């Protein structure tokens, strides 16, 4: 097996030193793989994704990306920072937090400009992404004037424009209408076939088989209780019930 792109071992993290969010989590993602994180609300999916994006740093445990350990001090280093940020992209769960620029165009251009791409190339890339995501009529508006779903599209555009190798999606289909959800699943498919490594948090078990090769299931105690290929995992109804991912009356169990 090739060397994993992302590898963490025994991560522990608590917010404000009091509220545990990760309690001994290990994970390894191979290049080109798509991994889904599953678990009930508050089990720590978003927290893990933030660790994987080098935004928060575990209280204990190690996180390696592209074979190098990611540490707060190391990210202060210009070279390492640019390398890491350019190769890993993160679509936040809360798109309100993710769109902060005065206009949509500036928002989408932000990442490329930060990483040192020149204005002309950036502008071209922005135009490409804008037409790909069909948000042409939004580019001159202010992000805070957009609807939830439109914001999500802008957020996705602002990450895709940087063309990262690894994409982290936190509940990408939430807040989208059914048509846009399908469009997004389609997009994820394309990205997968293009060889991107994808880690996504999701609650949507129905679309999972098309989306992910492998699933990681969190318990409400913030630990990983299962790590298996998607098909295998979705068949394990007992497990899904135990971690409160499904309800006795859920559609999934009737099949």
Partner 1 sequence: MHIPDGYLSPQTSAVFTVSMLPLWWQSARQVRKVVKSRYVPLLALGAAFSFVIMMFNVPIPDGTTAHAVGGALIAILLGPWAAGIAVSIALLIQALFFGDGGVLAFPVNAFNMAVLLPFVAYGVYRLLAGNAALTSPRRVWSAAVGAYAGLNAAALATAIEFGVQPDLFHKADGTPLYSPFHLSQSIPAMMLPHLLIAGLVEAAVTAGVLTYLQRANVPVLRINAPNVALTPAEVARRPVSPVRVGMVTLGILALISPLGLLAPGGAFGEDAPEDLDLARYHLSAVPTGLQKYTDFWGNALLPGYGDGSPWQYVVSAIIGMAAIAVVAGALVWLLRRVRGGEAGAADIDGGSGVDTPPVKEGSGSPA
Partner 2 sequence: MTTSTAQSQPAPAWLLQREVALCPCGCIGKRRKGSYVAKTLSGASGVLRQAMSSDDIAAQPGLLQRLDPRIKLVSLLGLLVTVALLRSLPLLAGAYVVTLVLAAASKLSVTFFIKRVWLFIPIFTGIVVLPATLSIITPGHVVLPLWTWHGQPQGFTEQGLHSAGLIITRVATSISLVVLLTLTTPWVRLLAALRSIGVPRMFVLIIGMAYRYLFLLLDTVDDMYTARKARTLGGGGDSAAGRRFVAASAGTLFGKAHQLSEEVHQAMLARGYTGDARSLQVFRLRRIDVVWTICAAAGAVALLLADRGLGG
Ligand X SMILES: Nc1ncnc2c1ncn2[C@@H]1O[C@H](COP(=O)(O)OP(=O)(O)OP(=O)(O)O)[C@@H](O)[C@H]1O
Q: Among residues 153, 141, 222, which one has the least CA distance to residue 181?
A: 153
Q: Does 72 bind partner 1 (CB under 8 A)?
A: yes
Handedness of CA 231, 196, 98, 12 (dihedral sign): positive
Cβ-proximal residue to Mg ion, closest one: 46
Total number of residues binding ligand X (CB under 6 A)?
A: 13
* Closer Cβ to partner 2, 45 or 222, answer by number: 222
Nearest approach in angstroms of CB 2 to partner 2 is: 26
Q: Residue 50: which H helix or E strand, with range?
A: helix 45-52
Q: Does 95 bind ligand X (CB under 6 A)?
A: no
Residues 157-186 that bind ligand X (CB under 6 A): none
Q: Among residues 163, 18, 157, which one has the least CA distance to residue 95?
A: 157
Nearest approach in angstroms of CB 38 to partner 2 is: 15
153 Cβ contact partners less than 8 Å away, ≥ 6 residues apart:
133, 134, 135, 138, 180
Among 14, 175, 187, 225, binds partner 1 (CB under 8 A): 14
Nearest approach in angstroms of CB 56 to ligand X is: 10
Handedness of CA 157, 161, 167, 168 (dihedral sign): negative
Cα-based distances in Å from 246 to 39, 155, 249: 10, 29, 8
Residue 229, beta-bridge partner list: 214
Among 9, 23, 64, 81, binds partner 1 (CB under 8 A): 23
Q: Among residues 126, 128, 118, 180, which one has the least CA distance to residue 149?
A: 180
Among 28, 46, 81, 207, binds Mg ion (CB under 5 A): 46
* Residue 227 binding partner per list partner 2, Mg ion, ligand X, none, with a CB distance cut-off of 5 to 8 Å that depends on partner kind: none
* Residue 235 binding partner per list partner 1, partner 2, Mg ion, none, with a CB distance cut-off of 5 to 8 Å that depends on partner kind: none
Nearest approach in angstroms of CB 130 to ligand X is: 28
């Amino acid at each position: 097996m090739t060397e994993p792109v992302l590898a963490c071992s025994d991560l522990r993290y608590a917010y404000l030193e009091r509220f545990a969010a990760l309690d001994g989590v290990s994970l390894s993602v191979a290049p080109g793989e798509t991994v889904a994180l599953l678990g009930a609300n508050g089990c720590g999916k978003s927290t893990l994704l933030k660790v994987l994006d080098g935004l928060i740093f575990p209280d204990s445990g190690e996180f390696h990306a592209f074979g190098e350990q990611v540490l707060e001090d190391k990210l202060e280093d210009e070279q390492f920072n640019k390398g890491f940020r350019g190769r890993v992209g993160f679509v936040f769960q809360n798109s309100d937090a993710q769109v902060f620029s005065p206009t949509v165009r500036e928002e989408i251009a932000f990442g490329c400009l930060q990483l040192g791409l020149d204005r002309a190339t950036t502008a071209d890339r922005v135009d490409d992404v804008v037409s790909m995501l069909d948000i042409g009529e939004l580019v001159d508006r202010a992000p805070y004037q957009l609807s939830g779903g439109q914001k999500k599209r802008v957020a996705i555009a602002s990450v895709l424009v940087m063309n990262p190798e690894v994409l982290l999606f936190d509940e990408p289909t939430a807040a989208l209408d059914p048509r846009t959800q399908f469009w997004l699943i389609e997009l994820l498919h394309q990205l997968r076939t293009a060889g991107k490594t994808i880690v996504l948090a999701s609650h949507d078990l129905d679309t999972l088989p098309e989306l992910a090769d492998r699933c990681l299931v969190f318990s409400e105690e913030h630990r990983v209780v299962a790590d298996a290929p998607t098909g295998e995992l979705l068949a394990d109804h007992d497990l899904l019930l135990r971690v409160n991912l499904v309800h006795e009356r859920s559609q999934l169990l009737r099949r």
